[in-house]
Amino acid sequence: MKTFYIPVIIVLICLNSCKKDDIANGNEFNKSYKAWLNYKSSVHNSYSYTQNQGSVFGYSAEIKIGVNNGKIVSRDFVSLRVRPDSTHAIDTTAHWHEENTSLNTHGNQGGELLTLDDIYTKARTNWLRVDPKNNDIYFEANNNGMISNCGYRPKGCQDDCVTGIIISSITAL
Q: What is the DSSP string of 72-129?
A: EEEEEEEEEEE-SSTT--EEEEEEEEEEGGGTTTTGGGG-----HHHHHHHHHHTGGG
Q: pLDDT of 84-97, one tens digit each?
A: 888 888 989 999 99
Q: pLDDT of 103-123, one tens digit each?
A: 999 877 888 999 999 999 999
- Comparing CA positions, the residue from 108, 128, 124 lying closest to residue 116 is 124
Q: pLDDT of 9-40, one tens digit each?
A: 333 333 333 345 556 557 899 999 999 999 99
pTM here is: 0.83
Phi, psi of 25 (to 5 degrees): -95, 0
Mean of the pLDDT values across residues 54-69?
Answer: 92
User: Would you say the C-alpha torsion 112, 116, 117, 123 has a positive or negative sign?
Assistant: positive
Q: Half-sphere exposure of residue 105, counting CA atoms within 13 Å on the CB side?
A: 10
* Cβ atoms within 10 Å, residue 57: 10
Q: Where are the domains of the chain?
A: 28-172
- Confidence at residue 152, expressed as pLDDT on a 0 to 100 scale: 97
Whether the CB-CB separation of 173 and 49 falls below 8 Å is answered with: no
